[in-house]
Structure 1
Amino acid sequence: MCSQIETDVKAFIATFTGCTRESVQPESTLFGDLGIDGDDAVEFFESFSKKFEIDITGFNFQHHFGTEGSGALAAFNWIKMLFRTGSPEDKACIEAITIENLVLAAERKTWRNLDSSA
């Protein structure tokens, strides 16, 4: 059974992404499963931290998401990803954020100690 915070977090994610609440599972990842990246990730975390009153001081976007962009560097990064194996996060050389991580942050009101890089 889901806690109220988990229900609220799933509802927030479903609204943000346009997916159904049922498709948002604790092990779902923002980048690989829900396609949140770049500027969308910044917007997501700004809205998420405000809605759930979470201190995201020290949160490092670059450890979890790519940058939006175009041009030669973006094309080169996509080509490199084609030849890597593993999860989408492994291929992009970033750390996954799961829905379970977000629920825990909402419960604790901080991102500290959830991010191994913080």
Structure 2
Amino acid sequence: MINFDEMEADLFSFVKNESSVDDDISFDTRLEEDLGIYGDDAIEFMLKYAEQYNVDVTRFEAANYFSSEARSLVWSILRSFFRKESTSKKSLTIRHLFEGIKNGRLDEDIINLSNIH
């Protein structure tokens, strides 16, 4: 039987380790917006996640959730002047990653289902 509490703790540990964040995180923590994971680092993060938890990410559209390196730099500068968040990308949360682990795949269907709960 799968112990979801242990899985949750392991995922939180993985995310904190891979993002080099010491702050508290929750299921609602967003990877790009809250943890600063974007660009090549986001791709590397997702590949490690897929390998660590045996999650199929072949249908996951990273470009819908993560900014490129150059775009993130531009948005950081613009946000400092205008104090606005970019709304062009969807948010990927730790809850989505957890649902991906439970289902063995992470794609738009799994993400949309976890948004309902």
Q: TM-score range by the shorter chain?
A: 0.7 to 0.9
Question: What is the alpha-carbon distance in structure 1 between the residues aligned to residue 27 and residue 111 of structure 2?
Answer: 17
Query: What secondary structure does 1:111 align onto?
Result: coil
Q: Is the 8 A contact 1:64 1:97 kept in 2?
A: yes
Match of 2:110 in 1: 114
Corresponding residue number in structure 1 for 2:115: none
Q: How does 1:26-45 map to 2 (within 5 A)?
A: 26-45=27-46
- 1:61 deviates by 1.1
Aligned partners of 2:87 and 2:44: how far apart in 1? Answer: 20
One-letter amino acid of the counterpart of residue 90, structure 2: E
**Quick check: 1:15 aligned with 2:10?**
no
Structure 2 counterpart of 1:94, from 89, 97, 104: 89
Instruction: With the length of structure 1 as denominator, give the TM-score of the two structures.
Output: 0.77
In the alignment, the residues of structure 2 paired with residue 37 and residue 92 of structure 1 have an alpha-carbon distance, to the nearest angstrom, of 15
Task: Give the number of equivalent residue pairs.
Answer: 106
Structure 1 position 107, deviation (Å): 1.1
Structure 2: tracts of 5 or more residues without a match: 113-117
- CA RMSD between the two structures: 2.3
Name stretches of at least 5 consecutive residues in structure 1 with no aligned partner: none
Q: Percent identity?
A: 24
Structure 1 residue ranges, 4+ long, deviating more than 3 angstroms after superposition: 77-85
Highest RCO, 1 vs 2 (Cα 8 Å, sep ≥ 6): 1
Per the TM alignment, residue 18 of structure 1 is displaced from its structure 2 partner at its CA by 1.7
Letter of the aligned partner of 1:36 in structure 2? I
1:69 matched to 2:64: no
**1:104 is matched by which residue type in structure 2?**
E
Distance 1:78 1:18, change over 3 A: closer
Residue 57 of structure 1 and its aligned partner are, at CA, apart by 1.5
> Cα distance, 1:19 vs. partner?
1.8
TM-aligned CA distance change 1:12 to 1:78, over 3 Å:
closer
Q: Distance in 2 between matches of 1:79 and 1:7?
A: 35
